[in-house]
Structure 1
């Protein structure tokens, strides 16, 4: 099995990513081909083929850059703050990074919504984003309970992304939507944990049913 040479792959992907942001700010991401990206980045399709880079690879790279901005911001957040407040700040750092290239990301998100394969890929990326965000604020993602938390946060982040698309002001709507959805998520998880504890404690209180040949004091044997 052959492996990509990072010294060639990383600079190429970075150049194509910069071209993607520039071109998708001018027209729909759906109309931007890999050949267009190569031309704008002054790279060759042959180099992309050799590095096994596709249009989806470029989109993945751009999304990872947003996650990176989010995680870098996490290092500057006060550890003493409540986890929900820290999670809010971490996720908002991602939206701030999107805002730096708003026209491009509006184009990319809208195009992805109309392309089934791209929409599925973005949903999978949002799971990754959610896991990183939770880990960044000290919430483990390794248990079964944590998996539900990751999935729930990913679903809510997609809803906030939809708000961001319509929020062309100072991101006040995005911040309000994120704050509300994190509160709802916190309440939902708390109810789920209480329900789980209820069933757990209830199962411990169950007694073994009487066998058919056991007799109560009121029913002496014949």
Structure 2
């Protein structure tokens, strides 16, 4: 039986944060769950909302020759995301090299994605916490570009602001592209995903 994958979208819980740039990871795993035809629940001790689906040649929601994928949205705040990641890895026996973390990225313009394995935290508290709890930074990252704040606005304030209503459709399109990237990463590997999406 193939080892399952864990796809974690980083964000903050609660309606106050639901449409903010910092919750881009949540948008992506929500779209993955929609494609997979599954809904989230909150299993005890996991510190996250979790949905399980399968991924095969037809994408999420595949049956037959398909690998199990655990989708998760931590219910902790961003700086404690690693608690959920660690609990899920332990429970489902998922190694670090089968973990994909989807997160907002200030250093990439909106409308662009980057897929990578390992690397630093770049000041992102969700990545920092995940690295600390896993004891390794060698997990995959799907970086959803949100761009830099305008003028002298502090990055911390910028990422906690909602995407403008005028961008809502584009935000969902980008979430869909990020799910495509996750599907390709799992099915064909890092090089294939980077060649297609790290444009």
Q: TM-score range by the shorter chain?
A: 0.3 to 0.5
More helix by percentage: 1
- Alignment TM-score, normalising by the size of structure 1: 0.29
Higher relative contact order (CA 8 A, sep 6+): 2
TM-score calculated relative to the size of structure 2:
0.32
For the pair shown, the structure with the greater C-alpha radius of gyration is: 1
